[in-house]
Amino acid sequence: MLNILIVARKEVQEGLRNRWVLATTLLLAALALTLTFLGSAPTGTVGVRALDVVIVSLASLTIFLLPLIALLISHDAVVGEMERGTMLLLLSYPIGRWQVLLGKFVGHLAILAFATLIGYGAAALALVLTGAAIDRESWVAFAAMIGSSILLGAVFIALGYLVSALVRQRGTAAGIAVGLWLVFVLLYDMALLGALVVDQGQTISGGVLSALLLLNPTDAYRVFNLSGSSSLSAISGMAGTARNSLGNEALLAALVLWVLVPLSLSALAFSRREL
């Protein structure tokens, strides 16, 4: 455990030195504040809660931005250190390869979690300072959105590690990471929507659709956050059917599996890789 924490601290220190923590926090805070002030402006006329509008806006932002940030900070975690020669030095100490990988994961996740908490928390604080009325249900939904956002970031950090453990060059890892972002964030949903339009409900039933949504972590995140209540569903334009058939537990379990499976595969690939 101590070795894991030492590696995690090393990653956090490198993130501070390379300005990753500062840049990510400022970016998320700036975009979150912008969406807060622009998105909450019409709530008085449409009769919805201000924080619910912010939750929908931030959840939509998270789907596009957080996976990209996670992949950027994780795609060279293994291959980058090997190219620089620092991985061989690190493994010369009494530390296992799985401990190195898990320590890096904890460190990168800490960076992402800190940026998300501060960035999105600034949006909620700004909304409170404007005097907007916020009830308990909205605060619970906001906390769930932040927690699931960090979990979504963990998914793509794990995917970035898997790529980094399999390839031989940083450039290849970067290209595959961008490809993964395009597939999970953009192309998968476009293909699914096209299939639904063509199928017209003949083959793709509700159960099949639910399974297809679980095959994409961003879709599981989207359903979890944007159809959490009647208010959120109305604002986001999403019906709660998929959520009702899947349930909170299934959606969160899918996200956890999306973390554990790629992380385990990356540890396996790293353990068999020659230095």
Which residue would you say has higher pLDDT here, 8 or 45? 8
Tens digits of per-residue pLDDT, 239-255?
Answer: 444 555 677 888 899 99
Tell me what pLDDT residue 101 has: 92
Residue 201 has what DSSP assignment? T
Tens digits of per-residue pLDDT, 204-227?
Answer: 777 788 888 889 999 999 888 877
Q: How far is CA 173 from the centre of its chain?
A: 19
pLDDT at residue 41 is higher than 70: no
Say which amino acid occupies 196.
Answer: L
Buried b (16+ CB within 10 A) or exposed e, 6-41: ebbeebbebbeeeebbeebbeebbebbbebbeebbe
Tens digits of per-residue pLDDT, 55-83?
Answer: 888 888 899 999 999 999 999 888 988 88
Q: Tell me the pLDDT of the chain averaged across its residues.
A: 84
Tell me how far apart the alpha carbons of residues 51 and 146 are, in angstroms, rounded to a whole number.
Answer: 13
pLDDT at residue 168 is higher than 80: yes
Sequence ranges of the domains in the chain:
2-271
